[in-house]
Amino acid sequence: MLTRIDHIGIACFDLDRTVEFYRATYGFEVFHTEVNEEQGVREAMLKINETSDGGASYLQLLEPTREDSAVGKWLAKNGEGVHHIAFGTADVDGDAAAVRDKGVRVLYDEPRIGSMGSRITFLHPKDCHGVLTELVTSAPPADREH
């Protein structure tokens, strides 16, 4: 069962400049940064709030590290802006199977490792009214990488 909005992914050309905008404008601070070589992105997670299920909601700012990455291609076509929405779940495997059974294409056969040690998968935007949708199971608090 989906429990919350885990994050909104925002594609940007300049991560440092975009982080500074969100810091100066809204007071959001960086909670976590990492480079995901597999996905070809450098990212910053800005924590917005804690949630009742022990998780949190974030803005995920994504800068491509190479032009041929999914985010790099998306930026070239669309420019900066909202790239995807991610819903938190205690069981990414079970929820991915449930939506697959309803005819929604799940992009990964098996969930992959995402930000802060989470387990993730994506749903095809054409099956989700044009919205690239991610399902996220957060790593246990002790295993989260800040």
The residues annotated with a catalytic role in the active site are 7, 43, 60, 84, 134
Question: Residue 10 to residues 5, 25, 32, 80: CA-CA distances in angstroms?
Answer: 14, 16, 15, 7
CB 71 within 8 A of CB 41: yes
Tokens representing residue 60 in the block: 């995920």
Which amino acid is present at 112? R
Question: Residue 85 to residues 14, 58, 105: CA-CA distances in angstroms?
Answer: 20, 10, 16
First and final CA of the chain: distance in angstroms?
26
CA distance 17 to 94: 38
CA angle 138, 143, 146 (to 5 degrees): 85
